[in-house]
Structure 1
């Protein structure tokens, strides 16, 4: 895109009339640049209006491409907040708000082009010391954009005050809500969701060297077709073969090595995955107490208790994943994710068909249209009081947001 704009800025047409001198170009360089930017912006909006029609599962190799060469995951220099109609808040955090938005465009079908727009105010990100987390999130989402079971960051952009991540909208809402209503999932439903998560972890760990670090039902959404999408990459970090020491995550899902602060890597996600499978099948995680310190004691001890109704293969899988010794933990031992995929509990899964999204999901949400928000809670409107992102902050921090 940048090359295209560059080309347009430096292309001068000349008159081909028989020997007639060419008319001098009366437009200023700034006007020509504005015109080129406007055309680039229109091109980007046209692509967004057609984005839903072009979605397909990319191969792991295609997902792994440089984000600036992919159809998704790039940093846009032309998109603006004004290109979207803010419809409803889908979620809030301490320094971010996610909106359901509609593309403002007159083209046919554009009224159905809805997205989730994550808006992060720069001053809040700085004040809450989240600059590094936000940069990690944006860059990991760019790297993994196009994976069939990870929320797709279509593009990122920024203005003077805020950072924006334009994401695909998952109208089904959180898996957590369905699990609470059902109390627990049956084995085939649990296997389907667990298998899609295995494919996510396999890609994050083995292609990108990324530890996700916050796997739980609240961070897994269901899309319009009944497939999972992993969201909220605020704790995700590219660790590769190194260890990191930041304490982050949700108490019931923390791995023992995080609690002990002995250094951790991608193995933490396989532990959390074991906890998640247990919660799918039982309706609650295996380690729980009102007091988080008691939860930590139970986790470090690592003694699992299984209900008698749970199948022996499910017990074996969970026991292998929730192993305190990381050198013996399933998913982290030789074979990596393939050892998990080969476990008898997943014997009925066709992994290729699953990756291609050709297997019917067990829960397909009933929707009134692309912008249906019935599966999301209501939120208080934003406070009107805002700290200004002044010149002093801008001079110190603006360079950190260049990736957006």
Structure 2
């Protein structure tokens, strides 16, 4: 019953923000959740609907977007996220802009990043890792069925919601490729598949490789290929010498070997029934993916919150009142038209 109330509330909020036009004046700013190269994510609450739970507002500087030639990437991120509606993927509820910034209105995952939890605990028990990985399998399956490759799976891009379930976030590197290949080298060094490094073209199977890296890191506390130098990381990935800690059981090693297979055509997830092959692996034998999808499986950790506005699961950042120089455009030649 409580879960039904949560889902009804989320649907009501989504419908409100899609149907209404709003601006920065629509929100009260409650704090900062994160900062990036040219963005800042703030926790906000609607002034018109104060009874609704807080939201995340991603704020991106127009001058920095243009300087770093990221406008096409930003449009791509917006257009892809607007297509998505899945239990384990962060929802975009709307966008708007002013003279200085572009704003993404997103649902707020109050449990913070999986990275923060991993850093605090060091490692996860196998059963906890299985829960998070299983939900990510469903999220990636959904994206792949839509012809989208995520390309940046890592603990920093996985949020935990107020019920303890995952929310895949940050679609800056995601791309719609259908059945074609793409060649851009992007992502986090430790998580790059060999075919990305080699520049031979790749498809959605790189996400399954990254899932294997993530699973290894969850249970070992470090990724299988790591070094201070990205170049050395790439060399280790291409050498493909996968070494397992002694406490990894045979079934886990079997799954990791299938996910971290350098030969793309032999990697689990390469064929058309990729997710099905993965879900049928013995490591997932006790997982009911149907119950998992409707959030009927209990999470290993539910965030403890003092209030709905509690940001204790996020790092603390100094606030900023910086107002960058507004780019000058004529009405006919404004590249940000459409946000």
Shorter-chain TM-score range: over 0.9
Find the aligned partners of 1:182 and 1:170 in 2 and give their Cα distance: 20
For 2:323 and 2:91, the matched residues in 1 are separated by: 32
**Contact 2:100/2:323 (8 A) holds in 1:** no
Q: d(CA) in 1 for partners of 2:325 and 2:204?
A: 37
Deviations 1:351-383 (A, max 9, x none): 110000111100111101111001111223336
Unaligned runs of 5+ in 1: 1-49, 57-69
Aligned-residue Cα RMSD (Å) equals 2.0
How does 1:2-401 map onto structure 2 within 5 Å? 53-55=8-10, 71=15, 74=18, 78-105=21-48, 110-144=50-84, 146-206=85-145, 208-382=146-320, 384=322, 386-391=324-329, 395-398=332-335, 401=337
Mark the CA change 1:128 to 1:369 in structure 2 (over 3 Å): closer, same or farther. Answer: same
How many angstroms apart in 2 are the aligned matches of 1:133 and 1:332? 26
**Alpha-carbon distance, 1:159 to partner:** 3.0
Quick check: 2:39–2:58 contact (8 Å CA) kept in 1? Answer: yes
Q: Deviations over 1:36-63 (max 9, x none)?
A: xxxxxxxxxxxxxx9974336xxxxxxx
User: Following the alignment from structure 1 to structure 2, what is the Cα–Cα distance between the partners of residues 283 and 213?
Assistant: 22
Question: Residue 166 of structure 1 aligns to a residue in which SS?
Answer: strand
Name the TM-score, length of structure 2 as normaliser: 0.93
| Partner Cα separation in structure 2 for residue 140 and residue 73 of structure 1 | 18
Contact kept, 8 Å, 2:77 with 2:172, in 1: the verdict is yes
1:132 shift after superposition: 1.3
What is the total number of aligned residue pairs between the two structures?
Answer: 333
| Cα distance in 1 for residues equivalent to 2:173 and 2:119 | 25
The 1-side partners of 2:333 and 2:140 are apart by: 36
Deviations 1:112-140 (A, max 9, x none): 43100111222221111111111111111
Contact 1:73/1:143 (CA < 8 Å) preserved in 2?
A: no
Superposition deviation, residue 77 in structure 1 = 6.8
C-alpha change, 1:51 and 1:222, in structure 2 (3 Å) is: closer
Structure with bigger gyration radius: 1
Q: Secondary structure at the match of 2:111?
A: coil
| Structure with the larger RCO, 1 or 2 (CA within 8 Å, 6+ apart) | 2
Q: Matches of 2:35 and 2:72 in 1, distance apart?
A: 19
Query: Deviations for 1:309-330, whole angstroms, at most 9, x for unmatched residues?
Result: 1111111111111111111111
Q: Distance in 2 between matches of 1:160 and 1:389?
A: 7
1:73–1:142: 8 Å Cα contact kept in structure 2?
Answer: no
270-279 or 382-391: bigger deviation: 382-391
Cα distance, 1:182–1:168 mapped onto 2, change above 3 Å: same
The Cα of 1:387 is off from its aligned counterpart by 2.0
User: Quick check: 1:104–1:111 contact (8 Å CA) kept in 2?
Assistant: no
**TM-score for the superposition, normalised by structure 1:** 0.78
Secondary structure of the corresponding residue to residue 247 of structure 1: coil
Distance 2:217 2:138 in 1: 19
